[in-house]
Copies of this chain bind each other. A is one copy, B any other.
Amino acid sequence: MMSTKLNPDIWSENSRIVNDALVIAGCDVRDLAREFGTPLFVLDETDLVTRIRSWRNNLAENFQSHSGNVYYAAKAFISVEIAKILASENVGLDVCTGGELAVARAANFPAERIEMHGNNKSESEIRAAIDYRVRTIVLDSLHEIERVARIAEEFGVVQRVLIRLTPGVEAHTHEAIATAHEDVKFGFSIASGAALEAARKVRAHPSLKFAGVHAHIGSQIFDTGPFELSTERLIEFLGKLKNELDLLADELVLGGGYGIAYVDGDDPIAPATMMKALSMVVDKECKRQGFSSPKISIEPGRAIIGPSMTTIYEVGTTKEVRLENGDNRRYISVDGGMSDNIRPGLYGARYMAILANRNPETRNVKSRVVGKHCETGDIVISEIELPSDIAPGDLLAVPATGAYGRSMASNYNHVPRPPVISVVNGTARTILRRETESDLLALDVVEKARKIEGVGR
């Protein structure tokens, strides 16, 4: 028997080892690989729905009449089908570009549950958002206040807006550092007075309706501390808004960044724990300020989609390398790599993997899982113990790849991006198809050179 016991913190809820192979939502990954090819992103759809509901219900239960929306952070991963699932679960959507909005439109996502972010929204993106009547635009700079006000006026609408703040909280995985200033591109500094100034400007525009404030303090955070600290500062700022500008916030968006487990030992916070901690801070701080709580909203992305997807790779080659210290390292090359998961290279992110198609017959050895790209740094998992008999044709499953995997995928080395298939109860359907060679060539055009000098002068 395969000894792999699947850690429920890492794997999606319907992932099991059955008859020596990995089965996700009743679908044997050997069958999925045969049917859909590899590499393959497998979405455990009911796991996704469970996570959506868990955040939504815990928000509702802890904040009661003051609960706002769960805005799913589209940047983690979005597709038309995912947007439809989110819509049917009655949660909101956080988009930050015209492209993400286009996906929402294609899914007929309700505009009244869309929030638009971004530090540098273009005129056309703002136009598209207002034209679709998105509920909220989160303002990120002084330039943008004027831009959104002008475009809203052109459309003859009063646009509901939030102001993005930098609360001076640097969140690391297990600690929060309180600072006066934040050296980031996003938002208005509370400490410098920029945030208050922004609110004053928003109030002066009849085409803008001030609705509240927003902050996002980081990502992959494993502790409630940084969120609590940020929340305190945001509510303190709301007090200032009330006292100095007589502005009342309707909504307070506390951002996302809730960590998930990628490898054994990662210890994410349960939605219930996180929401409870935040509701206590909100209660206490609103009392202190002497106003009732605005609606509280959150923006989980990774915490919803991350553990719901698993990548299935096929092994192509293996190789033993003798290290300087005399040890051996086994290189296992899979048929994807940095084009479908840039996180190990970009952030030093760690993942785990299992042999997914059979029982290993040998003991584990020191291994490294690498991709097929022409680059030494194309590493999926730098250090892992894997069975020494893993061979070409075997399948490896890498869990928790739902967030920032397919969404950051590239065509580096002209490698087609893998599909995403959704599995439920022994059935499967493609929700994002595999790219083909002709997709790869679709942007190559043959154009005649034309005179440019002086165009439009």
Contact = CB atoms under 8 A, between A and B. Distances in A.
Interface stretch (A200-208, A224-232, A352-360, A412-420): A412-420
Contact of A453 (B31, B117, B407): B31
A97 interface: yes
B415 A322 contact: no
Interface string A83-120: 00000000000001111101100100000000001111
A445 interface: yes
Interface string A433-447: 101010111111111
A434 to B, nearest CB: 8
Contacts of A346: 342, 345-346, 377
A318 B142 CA distance: 9
Given A97-B372, A334-B120, A410-B409, A428 B449 contact: yes
Interface in A19-42: 26-28, 31-32, 34-35
A121 B375 CA distance: 14
Contact of A445 (B316, B431, B439, B444): B431
A267 interface: no
B140 A317 contact: yes
Contact of A408 (B182, B319, B412): B412
B80 A119 contact: no
Contacts of A429: 447-450
Nearest to A425: B449
Given A376-B185, A445-B430, A437 B370 contact: no
Given A102-B440, A106-B444, A322-B192, A453 B28 contact: yes
A444 B431 CA distance: 6
A455 interface: yes
A28 to B, nearest CB: 7
A219 to B, nearest CB: 8
Interface stretch (A52-60, A152-160, A281-289, A323-331): A323-331
A151 interface: no
Given A317-B120, A319-B185, A370-B119, A431 B408 contact: no
A362 interface: no
Contact of A447 (B120, B142, B371, B430): B430
A122 B38 CA distance: 11
A404 to B, nearest CB: 8
Contact of A427 (B368, B376, B452): B452
Contacts of A182: 321
Contact of A437 (B102, B117, B392, B409): B102
A180 interface: yes
Name which of A181, A185, A419 has the most chain B CB atoms within 10 A of its CB. Answer: A185
Name which of A75, A368, A422 has the most chain B CB atoms within 10 A of its CB. Answer: A75
A457 B31 contact: yes
Contacts of A75: 373-375, 412-413
A3 interface: no
B447 A431 contact: yes
Nearest to A319: B141
30 contacts: A28-B453, A28-B454, A31-B455, A31-B457, A34-B455, A35-B455, A96-B374, A97-B372, A97-B413, A99-B414, A99-B415, A99-B437, A103-B441, A119-B333, A120-B371, A142-B319, A143-B316, A181-B322, A181-B323, A181-B324, A183-B323, A185-B319, A342-B342, A407-B411, A423-B452, A427-B449, A432-B443, A433-B443, A435-B443, A439-B443
The 6 closest A-B pairs by CB, nearest first: A99-B414, A120-B333, A120-B316, A427-B449, A120-B372, A96-B374
Interface of A: 26-28, 31-32, 34-35, 73-75, 78-81, 96-100, 102-103, 106, 117-122, 140-144, 179-186, 189, 192, 218, 316-319, 321-324, 329, 331, 333-335, 342, 345-346, 368, 370-378, 392, 407-417, 419, 422-424, 426-433, 435, 437, 439-457
